A = this chain, B = another copy of it.
Amino acid sequence: MLKYILLGFLNYQGMTGYDLKRSIDGSTAHFWHAYHSQIYTTLRKMERDGLVTSVIDDTDERLERRIYQITKQGKSKLKEWLGKSLTELPPSKDSLLVRLFFSGSRDRQEVLSELRFQRQLRQQQLELYQQIKPEEYSPPSQLRSDTLDFDREAKFWRMTLDLGLAYEQMYLKWLDETISQIESF
């Protein structure tokens, strides 16, 4: 999947591996993230497969910046992937629920502490998402692809942020109810 995310961003504009990491961190991270080591490794593989090309940026002799660009083959691969709809629900993982599931024999105060701490983290996450303006994901207009309607793209970006917001709100509500239940044991 990371390959398609990288293609998706490079379809917007050419950028460095470091830029890609920042793009992911600032937009898709709540539903897909990656470590920089995986990004660089995947970019290498994609270049080998002809999906992207790269060139060292000469204008900055001191910082060694490698700019990646999507190729026609890469655009075609991205389009093909987007054309194949998901037909099943992919599995999801939640470490907290694993721990809670097996917490019947834990000390009640310990469980409550952990849930309260998680609640704080979720609250912070929600507040962070509330600050985000997906419209600002757009690259500067002189650099970005001419063939894309970024106003329309921004609508889709916002939809994913809306799900992130709804998810955190749902989780907070559930945490409140769960904390209350455990408090009343």
Contact = CB atoms under 8 A, between A and B. Distances in A.
B1 A97 contact: no
Nearest to A89: B121
A102 B8 contact: yes
Nearest to A88: B121
B86 A102 contact: no
Contact of A104 (B113, B155, B162, B174): B155
Q: A interface, how many residues as a size bin?
A: 35 or more
Q: How many monomers of this chain does the complex have?
A: 2
A82 B103 contact: yes
Contacts of A27: 101
B95 A93 contact: no
Given A104-B149, A159-B100, A90 B86 contact: no
A181 interface: yes
Contacts of A163: 94, 97, 171, 174, 178
9 contacts: A85-B114, A86-B95, A89-B118, A89-B121, A90-B94, A93-B93, A103-B156, A163-B174, A163-B178
Interface of A: 1, 4-5, 8, 11, 27-33, 78, 82-83, 85-106, 110, 113-114, 117-118, 121-122, 125, 148-150, 152-157, 159-160, 162-163, 166-167, 169-171, 173-174, 177-178, 181, 185
